[in-house]
Amino acid sequence: MPNVRLRLSYDGTDYGGFQMQKNAVTVQEKLEKALFKLYERRVKLVGAGRTDSGVHALGQAVSFQADPLIPVERIPWALNSFLPEDVVVWEAVEVSPDFHASRDAVSKIYSYTLDNAVFRQVLRRRYAWHCPYSLNLDLMQKGCRLLEGEHDFLAFKGSGSPSKNTIRTIYRAEVFKREDEEIIIIQVEGKSFLYKMMRFMAGALVELGRGALEPAKLQEALKGIKLRLGPALPAKGLCLQKVYYND
């Protein structure tokens, strides 16, 4: 039975996250229903990672095993005919029988988008958090350099997280501004992330840029000290950009 990896994008605004839940409509639910219509049986789906309620994705990855009903490369066309407009599968490839979308992920890239215009840009309201402040990008970039490497991210863990181990490694973090679009993008690559970790990091970087947080305090928090660095920014600005694998 072929093992298939899909890559998909979705607008997370109207979903309770990616992973299946009892009391909310999720992206996984929509995808599994589409797979059921295609294969006429329940297909067990493995996601590369869960995105929370309201979080978007351009490059989420999932894997599943199913009978070779149609050529693998035609699966996106078939599934998209059953999916709502805010979820799109754009790639399907056959992978090794032991491939697992979550365990085999080498790294993930998340981005957080700030609408830095004086007045809200209406067409960005679903995908960016309005942040009209004058931000010092040099200070924010300094904060990015501090985040890189292996640290104890206890101060960046959302309440309710089941994770006991809060040590994580950030491979790359950067911030840049698109002047012509009046947006600022924070981009971070890491192996794995704690619950709300990316949103807390983005919040801390905004506080640095505003001058409300000292770099030394951020550096101290990365030793596993539970300090108040800033709020977890709203989910709508967060996007899972890509999941990397060794292939």
In order of their start, the domains of the chain are 3-95 (3.30.70.580), 107-244 (3.30.70.660)
Task: Give me the average pLDDT of each 10-residue run along the chain (247 residues).
Answer: 95 95 93 95 91 96 92 96 98 95 96 98 97 96 98 91 89 96 97 95 97 95 90 97 94
Q: Where are the beta strands (DSSP E) in the chain?
A: 3-10, 46-47, 56-65, 87-95, 107-115, 129-130, 149-152, 167-178, 183-190, 238-244
User: CA torsion 130→18→94→193, rounded to 10°?
Assistant: 70
Q: Which amino acid appears at position 71 of this protein?
A: P
Length of the chain: 247
Q: What is the pLDDT of residue 74?
A: 95
Q: Where are the beta strands (DSSP E) in 179-213?
A: 183-190
In degrees rounded to 5, what are phi and psi of residue 187? -125, 130
Catalytic residues: 52
Q: What is the pLDDT of residue 69?
A: 86
CA distances from 140 to 143, 178, 186, 218 (A): 5, 15, 9, 11
What is the DSSP secondary structure assignment for residue 42, as one 8-state letter? Answer: -
Interhelix angle for 197-210 vs 137-147, to 10°?
140
Distance (Å, whole) CA 32 – CA 54? 19
Q: What is the pLDDT of residue 164?
A: 85
Q: What is the pLDDT of residue 112?
A: 98
Q: What is the pLDDT of residue 159?
A: 82
- Show the tokens assigned to 89: 């599968």
Of 192, 143, 142, nearest to 170 by C-alpha is 192
